[in-house]
Amino acid sequence: MKVREGARQTMAWLHGWAGLLLGWVLYVMCLAGSLAVFRPEIGEWMRPETRDHAPAPQAVAAAVGWLQRHADAPAWFLYAPGSRTNVVEAVWFHGLSYTLRALDPVTGVPAMRQTRGGEFFYRLHFELQLPYPWGRLLACLAAAMMLLALITGVIAHRRIFRDFFTFRPGRSQRAWLDAHNALGVFALPFHIMITFTGLVTLFSLAMPWGVRALYGHDSATMFQELIPGAISRPPAGRPGTLAPIAPMIAEAERRFGGGNVGLVSVLNPKDAESLVLVYQADDGGIATSPEAVSFDGTTGRVLADYRETRPVVKAYDVAYGLHMARFADPVMRWLYFVSGLMLTAGIATGLILWIVKRRERAPLALGNRLVERLNIGMIAGAPVAFAAYFWANRLLPLGLADRAAAEVATLYWTWAAMLIAAIALKPRLGWPILLAAGGAAWTMLPLVDIAVRGAATPVLAGGDVTMMAAGVLFAVAAWRAARKHA
Residues of the shown chain interacting with other proteins in the complex, contacts defined by CB under 8 A: 7, 9-11, 13-14, 144, 147-148, 151-152, 155, 196, 199-200, 203, 206-207, 209-215, 222, 225-226, 310, 312-313, 315-316, 319
Kindly list the strands in the beta sheet with 291-296, ordered across the sheet, starting from the edge strand earlier in the chain: 97-103, 88-94, 75-79, 261-267, 275-280, 291-296, 302-307
**Taking the complex as a whole, how short is the minimal distance between the CB of residue 20 and other proteins, in angstroms?**
13
**Dist CA 260 CA 280 (whole Å):** 6
Q: Which is nearer to other proteins, 49 or 225 (CB)?
A: 225
Q: Which is nearer to other proteins, 30 or 64 (CB)?
A: 30
**Taking the complex as a whole, how short is the minimal distance between the CB of residue 214 and other proteins, in angstroms?**
5
Q: Which is nearer to other proteins, 213 or 455 (CB)?
A: 213
Q: Which is nearer to other proteins, 161 or 209 (CB)?
A: 209
Ramachandran bin of 129, using left for φ above 0, alpha for ψ from -120 to 50, beta for the remaining angles:
left
Q: Which of 121, 146, 127 is nearest to 26 (CA)?
A: 146
Strand partners, 306: 292
Helix then strand then coil, in percent of the chain rounded to 5, is 60, 10, 30
Q: Which is nearer to other proteins, 209 or 398 (CB)?
A: 209
**Taking the complex as a whole, how short is the minimal distance between the CB of residue 344 and other proteins, in angstroms?**
21
Q: How many CB atoms lie within 10 A of CB 111?
A: 21
**Dist CA 449 CA 10 (whole Å):** 51
Q: Which is nearer to other proteins, 147 or 374 (CB)?
A: 147
**Taking the complex as a whole, how short is the minimal distance between the CB of residue 223 and other proteins, in angstroms?**
9
**Taking the complex as a whole, how short is the minimal distance between the CB of residue 19 and other proteins, in angstroms?**
13
CB 321, CB 286: distance < 8 Å: yes
Q: Which is nearer to other proteins, 7 or 370 (CB)?
A: 7
CB 413, CB 406: distance < 8 Å: no
Single-letter residue type at 107: T
CB 350, CB 182: distance < 8 Å: no
**Taking the complex as a whole, how short is the minimal distance between the CB of residue 263 and other proteins, in angstroms?**
20
Ramachandran bin of 117, using left for φ above 0, alpha for ψ from -120 to 50, beta for the remaining angles:
left
**Taking the complex as a whole, how short is the minimal distance between the CB of residue 155 and other proteins, in angstroms?**
8
Q: Which is nearer to other proteins, 14 or 406 (CB)?
A: 14
**Dist CA 457 CA 48 (whole Å):** 9
Q: Which is nearer to other proteins, 211 or 478 (CB)?
A: 211
Q: Which of 182, 281, 169, 297 is nearest to 231 (CA)?
A: 297
Q: Which is nearer to other proteins, 170 or 210 (CB)?
A: 210
The DSSP result for 255-323, as a single string, is HHTTPPEEEEEEESTTBTT-EEEEEEPTTSSSSS--EEEEEETTT--EEEEEE---HHHHHHHHHHHHH
Q: Which is nearer to other proteins, 222 or 456 (CB)?
A: 222
Vertex 329: Cα angle to 324 and 330 (nearest 5) = 105
**Dist CA 261 CA 238 (whole Å):** 30
**Taking the complex as a whole, how short is the minimal distance between the CB of residue 8 and other proteins, in angstroms?**
10
**Taking the complex as a whole, how short is the minimal distance between the CB of residue 322 and other proteins, in angstroms?**
12
**Taking the complex as a whole, how short is the minimal distance between the CB of residue 143 and other proteins, in angstroms?**
9
Q: Which is nearer to other proteins, 206 or 482 (CB)?
A: 206
**Dist CA 68 CA 215 (whole Å):** 37
Q: Which of 265, 96, 132, 122 is nearest to 198 (CA)?
A: 122
The DSSP result for 217-252, as a single string, is T-HHHHHHHHSTT-------SSB--PPPSHHHHHHH
Q: Which is nearer to other proteins, 197 or 375 (CB)?
A: 197
Say how many CA atoms lie within 13 Å of 98 toward its Cβ.
17
**Taking the complex as a whole, how short is the minimal distance between the CB of residue 208 and other proteins, in angstroms?**
8
**Dist CA 330 CA 323 (whole Å):** 16
**Taking the complex as a whole, how short is the minimal distance between the CB of residue 195 and other proteins, in angstroms?**
9
**Taking the complex as a whole, how short is the minimal distance between the CB of residue 7 and other proteins, in angstroms?**
6
